[in-house]
Amino acid sequence: MRWIFRNWELKLGATGLATILYTGLVFSGSFTEARIAGVPIQRINQPNGAYVITQDLGNIQVHYRQQSGTSAPVTTDSFAATVDLSQYDMQRAGQQQSLPVQVRSLADGVSWLDFNPTRVTVNLDVLDTHSVPVVLDRGTVPSGLELGVPSLSADKVEARGPRSLLNQVTAAQARVSIDASGIDFNKQVRLVPIDARGQPVEAVELAPDVINVQIPVTTQETSKTVPVRPRLGGATAAGFQVNGITSSPAAITLRGTPAALASVIDVTTDQVNIAGLATSRTFTVKPVLPSGVRLAKGEPATVGVTVAIGPAQASRTFLVGISCRNVPSGSSCLPQLGQISLTVGGPAPAIAALKAAQITPFVDASGLAPGSYQLAPSVTLPSGISPVGFAPPEVPIVIARPTPSPSPSP
């Protein structure tokens, strides 16, 4: 220990002088101090056969000193922060270990004083390889399709990755999507490493990672019941119209593939010719089947179509007077409107032949005391003709009694 205290006066003086010079430099402004954050930590000297599980080592903050007169600004690129992975103990691979961060300045006139953090947690693992079976995920098979025995270009592949993750891989999954058209599946499919729950495992590579998958697809037929829609052609006789159309059966069942039946909402018939008809008639016609479908077993090959034909309906409006019925004895009924409008409807020939003289609307004044009233009119019409409406719907009337003449003076 004697050498430490040898010439202690000189050593103490040198220390004091250095302190005075440093203080002078600080107060003379020969350099500045600052801090900068966001300097990324880089990995160096990764061991052979090792996989870095901790991909992102984060950033550090650097406390630095810059000499005065240095024009270049200090940025995160002014420093290099590294972690030497060769210091990681591979005997404990797969475990988190704390390694020191090393920093050096890359800019002239800039030096670092301290930084934070000084250590980071790193996890490395050993790369390994083993064989895993290929499994097929068929996805959702469209309705009406059946899949045959699949053929794979490989039933096993090599999986390579960090041992801790590789041990989770139970299979290489090939997921396919079957087209609803029913065509055979024959495509290249990319493989995905999965664990026992069917979830993908990251950071594991497969070789090969693409295989060819062939799956024969057959179409199942199904049935669908749709209504029959008769198709008419031609026009009825003059003055007549179609009042209704019925078919027997009203609906038929079809067979076909789901794709062929998907757009079928009804089945039409061969054209039913009603040209010149003045009476109802039943026709026997064939249904027109859409492409790719057929009648289900037991369905009739023909359809009975009944067309109900009757006189054409028409309407007509008359302007007519109105009368009173069932006027109380000794009273008079006085309609306050000279005419009202009456619309009637019925077969066109009968409407055309109807005369205004055949129409006499009336109001029922039975039991009414003298006074003013609003009464709904009624009308009696020839058979087959019915009233559609009155305008106005009510008629103002006055029920009155005659004023007695004064007796002559004696």
CA separation for the pair 287, 362 (Å, rounded): 55
Check whether residue 272 and residue 363 sit in a common domain.
Answer: no
- 267 in any annotated domain: yes
Read off the pLDDT band of 402 (50, 70, 90).
Answer: confident
**In the predicted structure, residue 16 carries a pLDDT above the cut 80:** no
Specify the pLDDT at position 3: 45
- 91 in any annotated domain: yes
Q: Give the pLDDT mean for 349-369.
A: 91
Q: Give the pLDDT mean for 312-333.
A: 92
**In the predicted structure, residue 4 carries a pLDDT above the cut 60:** no
Q: Give the pLDDT mean for 145-158.
A: 92
The CATH number linked to 306 is: 2.170.120.40
Q: What is the pLDDT of residues 326-357, one digit of tens each?
A: 999 999 999 999 899 999 999 888 888 899 88
CA separation for the pair 286, 299 (Å, rounded): 12
Check whether residue 255 and residue 274 sit in a common domain.
Answer: yes
- 408 in any annotated domain: no
The CATH number linked to 357 is: 2.170.120.30
CA separation for the pair 360, 340 (Å, rounded): 10
- 409 in any annotated domain: no
CA separation for the pair 248, 244 (Å, rounded): 14
Check whether residue 6 and residue 105 sit in a common domain.
Answer: yes
- Burial of residue 363, with CB atoms counted within 10 A of its CB: 0-12 exposed, 13-18 middle, 19 or more buried: buried
Q: What is the pLDDT of residues 52-69, one digit of tens each?
A: 988 899 999 999 999 987
Question: Could you give the number of structural domains in the chain?
Answer: 4
Q: What is the pLDDT of residues 265-308, one digit of tens each?
A: 999 999 999 999 999 999 999 999 999 899 999 999 999 999 99
Q: Give the pLDDT mean for 115-138.
A: 95
pTM greater than the 0.75 cutoff: no
- 161 in any annotated domain: yes
CA separation for the pair 78, 349 (Å, rounded): 106
- Lookup: tokens for 202: 């990251």
- 284 in any annotated domain: yes
Check whether residue 298 and residue 345 sit in a common domain.
Answer: no
Q: What is the pLDDT of residues 21-51, one digit of tens each?
A: 454 444 445 889 999 999 999 999 999 989 9
Check whether residue 196 and residue 264 sit in a common domain.
Answer: no
Specify the pLDDT at position 14: 54
Specify the pLDDT at position 259: 78
Check whether residue 101 and residue 133 sit in a common domain.
Answer: no
Specify the pLDDT at position 1: 45
**In the predicted structure, residue 233 carries a pLDDT above the cut 90:** yes
- Do 344 and 354 touch, CB atoms closer than 8 A? yes
Specify the pLDDT at position 326: 94
Read off the pLDDT band of 6 (50, 70, 90).
Answer: low
CA separation for the pair 79, 71 (Å, rounded): 16
Check whether residue 305 and residue 321 sit in a common domain.
Answer: no
Check whether residue 301 and residue 345 sit in a common domain.
Answer: no
The CATH number linked to 34 is: 2.170.120
Q: What angle do CA 389, 390, 391 make, to 5 degrees?
A: 130
- Do 100 and 81 touch, CB atoms closer than 8 A? no
Q: Give the pLDDT mean for 175-181.
A: 89
- 406 in any annotated domain: no
Check whether residue 11 and residue 101 sit in a common domain.
Answer: yes
Check whether residue 133 and residue 214 sit in a common domain.
Answer: yes
Check whether residue 97 and residue 30 sit in a common domain.
Answer: yes
CA separation for the pair 192, 171 (Å, rounded): 8
Check whether residue 46 and residue 111 sit in a common domain.
Answer: yes
- 363 in any annotated domain: yes
Read off the pLDDT band of 143 (50, 70, 90).
Answer: confident
Q: Residue 179: give the domain boundaries.
A: 126-219
Q: Which of 172, 192, 219 is the last residue of a domain?
A: 219
Specify the pLDDT at position 152: 95
